[in-house]
Amino acid sequence: MLQNTIHPGEFLTDILDERGVSQTQLARHIGVEPGVISLICKGKRGISASMAKKLARALGTDATLWVNLQSSFDLTQAEDPNFGKLRA
């Protein structure tokens, strides 16, 4: 299985850069706070199904792309042997 170690936010950042669109512009266009897009782009927030639909509409992609990128990333992170371990 191909492992996805890139957070979907990194992919989103690349798309925005290529199109010359700022995070704030995207946020306003899809009706979310700019901080939400910032957190996604920094890899600190995941992409929900609802957000995937908003991104797909705004960017001319498919919502499945965003959901699959997030799921693949999450599964890769879960393979880490320390994932979910309680730390002191």
Percent pLDDT > 70 in the chain is: 92
Give the pLDDT mean for 56-62.
Answer: 98
Residue 2 has pLDDT above 60, yes or no: no
Q: Spell out the domains of the chain, with CATH numbers in brackets.
A: 8-72 (1.10.260.40)
Give the residue with greater pLDDT, 76 vs 4.
Answer: 76
Give the residue with greater pLDDT, 1 vs 88.
Answer: 88
For residue 84, count CB atoms less than 10 angstroms from its CB and return exposed for 0-12, middle for 13-18, buried for 19 or more.
exposed
C-alpha span between 34 and 81 (Å, rounded): 34
- Residue type at position 66: W
Residue 83 has pLDDT above 70, yes or no: no
pLDDT level of residue 82 (50, 70, 90 thresholds) = confident
Copy the structure tokens of residue 26. Answer: 């995207």
Helix (H) or strand (E) holding 47: none
For the segment 29-52, what is each residue's pLDDT rounded down to a tens digit?
A: 999 999 999 999 999 999 999 999
